[in-house]
Amino acid sequence: MSRSALIAILPGDGIGPEVTQQAVRVLREVAAQGGHQLAFEQGLIGGAAIDAEGSSMPQQTVSLCSRADAILLGAVGGPKWSDPEALVRPEQGLLALRKKFGLFANLRPVCPNPRLNDASPIKPEYLDGVDLLVVRELTGGIYFGDKERGEAHASDTCRYGIHEIERVVRLACALAQRRRGKLTSVDKANVLETSRLWRATVDRICGKEFPELEVEHLLVDAATMHLLTRPRDFDVIVTENMFGDILTDEASVLAGSLGLLPSASLAQSDGDHAFGLFEPIHGSAPDIAGLGVANPYGAILSAAMLLRHSLGLDAEALRVEAAVDAAIAAGALTRDLAGPGGVTTVAVGDAVIAAL
């Protein structure tokens, strides 16, 4: 990274602002230590943007993101904007952003920290050695197909073009190659046409371009079970948009808290760095918003992914990840992990920065 990089900060709703603030502190510290120039500019998205501008993704936010090298986002949504009949919804802003910037590949790593085994309801012997990466297709499928709503009927169309499947499968294969060489593709090919196209495409691409990978197909219903009964067996899981949404919330149970998990949503790239949006996988948690107790590790680890995938600063990403491990080892745990004795969001940021 030679010139100054611009990071768009979109805090969003609920606990979004609290957790992104800690992630930005960590990014500033890493940049200062490594002599990197990072600039931050804040934009509105979600409910906060609806309140201020009447739109969940104002034009100003779009142009900020267009100028930026990467986006760091908190969370969107909340009861204030969740009337089922509402015309504008916070989530639309996030979906529009994903679509607008072609962020088709959503990477969600799950690597439980053994120190947090007690926070997971899963027996420790199942968690030992779990290290998996879900690659969720993010700009196609039922999220983006035609929608209809009549008086007495409603429909959401699930559509996939072959190119949309190919590019995400290729990326997942390339990632599997650099890991343990195993790819699990999850679909519902016994029922859905889109899944049959998905499965045929996985077989063709893996057979021709990645013959060294071990490839497994799982139906999504079975996958939900296998994810908890044999989580260690998974390396890279690739799946379509909605299955990936559901499976990654489930996978967070392995890590002990939804608050721990980061994600990267990447656009197509020609070289090593891809434009991306980085966000914790948790939601806006309105029940604890403003209390200063939200877990910022997911946001901080998303910032690490931003350093790695969009800025090409892998060493810095590893330093942030090591600092998170050290902070966890030092007992900097919010209440989702430690119960009522948990520390504050800011205290976790302090601990990570101290470890850096």
Q: Give the residue numbers marked as catalytic.
A: 143, 188, 221, 245, 249
Return all residues near 19 (Cβ < 8 A) that are at least 6 apart. Answer: 74, 75, 280, 294, 295, 296, 298, 299, 345
Cα-based distances in Å from 312 to 23, 173, 181, 283: 18, 20, 23, 27
Per-residue contact string for residues 122-151; x = within reach of ligand IPM by CB under 6 A = ------------------------------
Segment contacting Mn ion by CB under 5 A, of 102-110, 126-134, 242-250, 270-278: 242-250
Q: How many CB atoms lie within 10 A of CB 152?
A: 4
> Which residue spans within the chain are E strands per DSSP?
5-12, 38-42, 70-75, 105-110, 132-137, 147-149, 154-156, 182-187, 214-219, 236-239, 264-266, 276-278
Q: Of ligand IPM, Mn ion, none, which one sits near residue 94, judging by CB under 5 to 8 A according to partner kind?
A: ligand IPM
Segment contacting ligand IPM by CB under 6 A, of 31-39, 91-99, 114-122, 231-239: 91-99
The answer to whether residue 245 forms part of the interface with Mn ion (CB under 5 A) is yes
Binders in 62-81 for ligand IPM, by CB under 6 A? 76-77
The answer to whether residue 91 forms part of the interface with ligand IPM (CB under 6 A) is yes
- Cα torsion 100, 101, 102, 105: sign: negative
In the bound state with ligand IPM, the residue whose beta carbon lies nearer, of 25 and 108, is 108
* Smallest distance, ligand IPM to C-beta of residue 143, A: 7
* Smallest distance, ligand IPM to C-beta of residue 77, A: 6
Binders in 278-297 for ligand IPM, by CB under 6 A? 281
The residues that bridge with 5 in the sheet, in sequence order, are 38
Binding site for ligand IPM (CB under 6 A): 76-77, 91, 94-95, 245, 281
